[in-house]
Structure 1
Amino acid sequence: MTNPSGPARHAVERPDETRALSEDQVVLIDEMADVSQPTALDFRVVNDENLGTYDAIVGDREVAGVTYSVTGDDRLVLLGTSVLPEFRKQGIASELIRYVLNDARAQGRTVTILCPIVRSFIDHNPEYADLIDARHPGVTQRRTHLS
């Protein structure tokens, strides 16, 4: 929905709350919808288990990250995704999230999604929906609000 007097605002549904997203989150969510644009950048991913981050590294620079925690039942809780502004709209967020989800699958883990960007990625890539923990799904849908 759009409001002629102002821009559309995105919000996410959590089990018991709805909250507005930041402009940075909206940009990354919009990037998830453009599945036709694979990344042209060569980057590597480092999983820092002590910090709970998967980091995308270009050269010697950290350009994107997905933060997480691991629960006692070996479930990966995906907390947030960030990409430096100059590296957005290049497919890094999508490829980093794909890497994280493939790694969770390889380890036999399920995921709880607290990050709306990861939620949007799975909405556009339903082949990963089976990884979502049925008892603890986290963010369940995205919708648009008027501001």
Structure 2
Amino acid sequence: MTDPSGQVRSAERPDEAGHDENGTLSEDQAVLIDEVIDASHTTASGFRVVHDENRGTYDAIVGDREVAGLTYSTTGDDRIVLLGTSVLPEFRKQGVATALIRHVLDDVRAQGKTVTILCAIVRTFIEHNPEYADLIDVKHPGVTQRRPHSS
């Protein structure tokens, strides 16, 4: 995502899977995990998704403001490595993360590619939306299960 000064910043994640050194999720990540688990009550609307291949991001834009992003890297073998998801605090619990992840996975499917998941939020989304499980690269799945978050 881009911060207010215009600087590009990576998704908020202590390591590639979004866990701290003890294997637990940050509070910010736990909020997004809860959103994708309980997506039934929130439906995001009023934003568009911009895919910036040069930066390796899919960004959710409201008006002219970037409110969420999903970072990725590419490999040479038709595989996309999903690195991290972030949503500005005031846009959390509104379904933005869920809708953004769904958009990214639909785009990956349309491109005929597979994914390696290093983002715990995307992993949780797929666990709760198994119709996307076929996109996970069999040889390089990434994070294989969601880790519990600290209370």
Q: 1:65 aligns with which of 66, 69, 90?
A: 69
Paired residue for 1:33? 37
CA gap 1:104/1:145 in 2 versus in 1, 3 angstroms: closer
Q: Retained in 1: the 8 A contact 2:23–2:147? A: no
Q: 1:103 aligns with which of 100, 107, 129?
A: 107
Residue identity opposite 2:112 in structure 1: G
TM-score by length of 1: 0.84
Q: Give the length in aligned residue pairs.
A: 133
CA gap 1:18/1:142 in 2 versus in 1, 3 angstroms: farther
How much has 1:40 moved relative to structure 2? 4.1
Provide structure 1 residue ranges, at least 5 long, that are not aligned to the other structure: 1-12
SS of residue paired to 1:76: strand
- Return structure 1 stretches of 4+ with deviation > 3 angstroms: none
Between structure 1 and structure 2, the one with the greater Rg is 1
Residue identity opposite 1:29 in structure 2: I
Which structure shows the bigger proportion of residues in strand conformation?
Answer: 1
TM-score by length of 2: 0.82
* Cα RMSD (Å): 2.0
Distance in 2, Cα, partners of 1:68 & 1:143: 21
Paired residue for 2:7? none
Q: Percentage identity across aligned positions?
A: 77
Q: How does 1:1-147 map to 2 (within 5 A)?
A: 19-144=23-148
Residue identity opposite 1:80 in structure 2: G
Relative contact order, higher structure (CA 8 A, sep 6+):
1
CA gap 1:135/1:40 in 2 versus in 1, 3 angstroms: closer
Provide structure 2 residue ranges, at least 5 long, that are not aligned to the other structure: 1-16
